[in-house]
Amino acid sequence: MSSRLDQVEESATLRLADLTNELKRQGKDILSFNLGEPDFNTPSNIVEAAEKALKSGKTHYAPAAGIPELRDAIAAKLKNENKLDVPGKNVLVTPGAKQAVFYVTFSLLEEGDEAIVFDPGWVSYDACIKMSGGKTVWVKSNEDGSLPRDLSKYVNKKTKLIILNSPNNPSGAVLDTKDIRMVADLSKDHGLYVLSDEIYEKIVYDVKPVSIGSMIPDKTVTINGFSKAYAMAGWRIGYAAAPKPVFQNMLKVQQHTATSPTTFVQYGALEAINGPQDSVENMCRQFKERRDVVVKGLRDMGLQCETPLGAFYAWPKVKGSSEKWAEKFLEAGVGLTPGSAFGPHSDDHIRMSYASSMNDIKKGLERMKKCVTGA
């Protein structure tokens, strides 16, 4: 077997979700708060656009970088909403945002190069870095999700990449302009690329995320997708906007692996961008209501929990091993993800997705409270 994957663990979130589903199949009453997948159906206008594309014969290979009209629509969206002046020809449509993350690490990292990931950080960043031959340098974020002021001490001659994720998975933290500017200045000083994962940008509560690509366009790869904002997780469609040299390398990887994203799915994505946005606003309203219930419930059982400003995760602090807490909660019928999956400094947290019905959330909190308080 190839030794390339020896240091790569399987996705903890997917593994625990599979375990939870297996227990459900066995007849166990389990409420799952593992996966970061909206529980809403894809808006009907998006489904209808994909159906129309299917029926009109959009079932052949698409251009490797994506259909031109979608690439142009994404470029227009980035200009209007994110202040990024990126031409459509520098936009790569991918089979999900996760694929784009791997393309970036594989395109930029040589054997032994280092990439900075903030802890807590999404589980697949570390895996993508390792599969690309690189080394992850974990930098612990502050408890409120802000970045440490001494970030420069983690940079050396091997550092090639910094990964940002705001709003953050798993904490829900949103970086302010000061933090974004600090990373941009560090990039300028050391010639570093920045991968900005903005998949949760539309799921925010009373704040507006800042796109670092508006500050350092020549050194930023901006990644986004449709899974979260438009409830299109199973469609597997995302995109990246990159400087031309990086774009060319990413395109090569896509050409020789996925070939291109699914053709008719791209027409659904085009409708998502160009069509009405009321479904996004409605989901955000409901997520905010759920967030407030979850944070209050966690605090009522004595757990410390920052209020998430974006995404749909709560990140409560626990005493002791997060793995043991996750096992304990699972025995009580609640599926959660241990913090250890999100970085070496996060074993004192657990992640609870509130992309579930309010009824399930309230029932889950009751079961959790019994575990924590014994009452």
- What is the tens place of the pLDDT at every residue in 29-59? 999 998 889 999 999 999 999 999 999 999 9
What pLDDT does residue 20 have? 77
Per DSSP, the residues of 247-293 read HHHHHHHHHHTT-S--HHHHHHHHHHHHS--HHHHHHHHHHHHHHHH
Rg (alpha carbons) of the chain, rounded to whole number: 20
Select 3-42+278-373's CATH number: 3.40.50.300, 3.40.50.2000, 3.90.1150.10, 3.40.50.150.
Answer: 3.90.1150.10
Instruction: Strand 313-314: give its sheet, edge to edge.
Output: 313-314, 350-353, 337-338
Contact yes or no for 373/302 (Cβ under 8 A): yes
Helix (H, G, I), strand (E, B) or coil at 17: helix
Joined together, the tokens standing for residue 354 give 């509130």
- The domain ranges of the chain are 3-42+278-373, 60-274
Q: Which fold has domain 60-274?
A: Aspartate Aminotransferase; domain 2 (3.40.640)
What pLDDT does residue 24 have? 79
What pLDDT does residue 36 have? 87
CB neighbour class for 245 (10 Å; exposed up to 12, middle 13-18, buried from 19): exposed
Q: How far is CA 313 from CA 179, 184, 222, 288, 292, in A?
A: 21, 27, 22, 11, 11
Q: Which of 59, 73, 102, 47 is nearest to 256 (CA)?
A: 102
Q: 163 - beta bridge partners?
A: 117, 195
What pLDDT does residue 300 have? 97
Say what the alpha-carbon torsion angle 327, 331, 336, 338 is, to the nearest 10 degrees. Answer: -10
Contact yes or no for 191/218 (Cβ under 8 A): no
User: Which parts of the chain have pLDDT scores under 70?
Assistant: 12-13, 375
Cα–Cα dist 199/270, whole Å? 16
Cα–Cα dist 27/38, whole Å? 24
Contact yes or no for 265/93 (Cβ under 8 A): no
Q: What are phi and psi of 225, to 5 degrees?
A: -170, -170
